[in-house]
Amino acid sequence: MDALYHSTRSADATVTSKQAILAGIASDGGLYVSDALTDTHINIDELNGAGYHAIARKVLSALLGDYTNDEIADCVAAAYNTNFSSAEVTPVSPLGDDWLLELFHGPTCAFKDVALQMLPRLMSVARTTEGGSNKVMIVTATSGDTGKAALAGFADVAGTGVTVFFPAGKVSDIQRLQMVTQVGANVAVAGIEGTFDDAQTQVKRIFADTALNDRLAKTGVVLSSANSINVGRLVPQVAYYFSAYAQLVAKAAITPGEAVSYVVPTGNFGDVLAGYYAKQMGLPVAKLIVASNSNKVLTDFLTTGTYDRRREFVKTISPSMDILVSSNLERLLYYASDGDVELVGDLMTKLSTTGVYTLPRSVMDRIRTSFDCGFASDQDTRDAIATTWRDTGVLIDPHTAVAKHVMDTMERDTFPRICLATASPYKFCADVLFALGKDTSGMDGFACMEALSTLTNTTAPEQLAALSGARELHNDVVSQQEMAAFVTDACARVFA
């Protein structure tokens, strides 16, 4: 089936999945969705004994109908290769009476690798067959992890450049080093004065800036997005929900058809939305539990029905979730309202003009049948890291700990629960070490890394340990007004 995509804000113009992946975002500012989602069914009995590659091929083929089976198979084989340090790609391990879905075994040690090792390959195939421009500049705002995963995915990919903006001073030491040490002739990295939301807003503005895009078009350059608003990032994430389920069946921890709940540390709502896609496609999901940090817009939204971003931004120890505008929620609004594009457009206008909107009761009730929620303060997060280590011997990062806290404070129902582990604890050594009761004052990221390793008798991932000798290559910090010019300069340099 050729799943056609259109904007969440208008169903008039349809595109293929290849075109949607090349464009990133629809021209009216909406996100690409497919009405075929609920018709795409994956038979879980067929996943019996299937490895990650087979599952990923099935999921991608179902959602990206205009890619041939060979194209999908090549992309899967190349993306989930030895660059993941686990043969299962995303292994499931025990976590007390629950399960941990380890999504951090990719090249940059965060779950974003699962999608960002795939996206450049999907784009390259689409460019070849759709005749797209061979000068594509990927422009990405990052709260910390997307940036490095995008750099790793797109570095030295022919015909492509990648520009990353991160909120200066609001990412961990190791996260910053991962980005500013990135080598490659086609990369540009800058800190910005502001928050992730500011960076994301400006990037969306850059995509919508007709004059800028026209100027670039004259030099043959088109802009595209690697943020989780891109269909090509969302779809690969659906696979690990199925894979986790298949792994539990293989361990005889569940029987095929039995419903399970997933607890998801959430920021931009991409990861948990992939779980919703999996559910729509037939995965037996009891609840998707949206776990937030102190920037708990989503907890409040799911509790009250009102999305209100008019609040103080809180800098937390789970920085990749320090987000007040969760872009991918727009896709859920589309599906939960039965494709009411007018309603979605209206709500999004309200959000950008007044900062607040309220959902109709019927739509909210529908969302609540699939989603539950909770949040963790920084202290809750530290406590969860400490107690998890003490009680289970599993070392978790602060983002995963947010989910663990939410899971532990919820009333336990009968469903098996899978907690998504989104980053290696070694990306956040200082905060993890502190949570385990150590004084970290005066210690840099690497001193903390060593101390954490000694204390827990675990080993830092090689690619993070190697940062200690790497040269810092990108030290620009720009204002929000300067971001567009930074992109223009990067295009000129990369495509000179």
Ligand X SMILES: *Cc1c(COP(=O)(O)O)cnc(C)c1O
Interface with ligand X (CB under 6 A): 110, 112, 145, 228, 265-271, 320-321, 399, 422-423
- For residues 261-297, b (16+ Cβ closer than 10 Å) or e, as one string? bbbbbbbbbbbbbbbbbbbbbebebbbbbbbbbbbbb
Cβ closest to ligand X, residue 321 vs residue 494: 321
- Minimum distance, C-beta of residue 164 to ligand X, in the bound complex (Å): 14
On whether the CB atoms of residues 199 and 224 are closer than 8 A, the answer is: no
- Minimum distance, C-beta of residue 426 to ligand X, in the bound complex (Å): 12
- Minimum distance, C-beta of residue 265 to ligand X, in the bound complex (Å): 4
State which H helix or E strand residue 358 sits in. Answer: strand 356-358
DSSP state of 104: -
**Helix orientation angle between 445-456 and 173-180, rounded to the nearest 10 degrees:** 120
Q: Say how far apart CA 146 and CA 161 lie, in whole Å.
A: 15
Cβ closest to ligand X, residue 127 vs residue 405: 405
Q: Say how far apart CA 304 and CA 475 lie, in whole Å.
A: 43
**Helix orientation angle between 173-180 and 145-154, rounded to the nearest 10 degrees:** 20
- Minimum distance, C-beta of residue 423 to ligand X, in the bound complex (Å): 3
Write the DSSP assignment of 391-413 as a string of letters: HH-----HHHHHHHHHHHHSPP-
- Minimum distance, C-beta of residue 329 to ligand X, in the bound complex (Å): 10
Cβ closest to ligand X, residue 16 vs residue 230: 230
Cβ closest to ligand X, residue 170 vs residue 399: 399
Cβ closest to ligand X, residue 248 vs residue 321: 321
- Minimum distance, C-beta of residue 398 to ligand X, in the bound complex (Å): 8
The pairing of beta strand 187-192 with beta strand 92-95: unpaired
Q: Return the closest-CA partner of residue 225 out of 347, 322, 328.
A: 328
Name the maximum alpha-carbon separation found in the chain: 61
Note the Cα 487 to chain centre separation in Å: 23
Cβ closest to ligand X, residue 124 vs residue 292: 292
Residue carrying the six token digits 């899978």: 418
- Minimum distance, C-beta of residue 148 to ligand X, in the bound complex (Å): 10
Q: Say how far apart CA 219 and CA 441 lie, in whole Å.
A: 50
- Minimum distance, C-beta of residue 233 to ligand X, in the bound complex (Å): 9
Cβ closest to ligand X, residue 268 vs residue 316: 268
Cβ closest to ligand X, residue 17 vs residue 318: 318
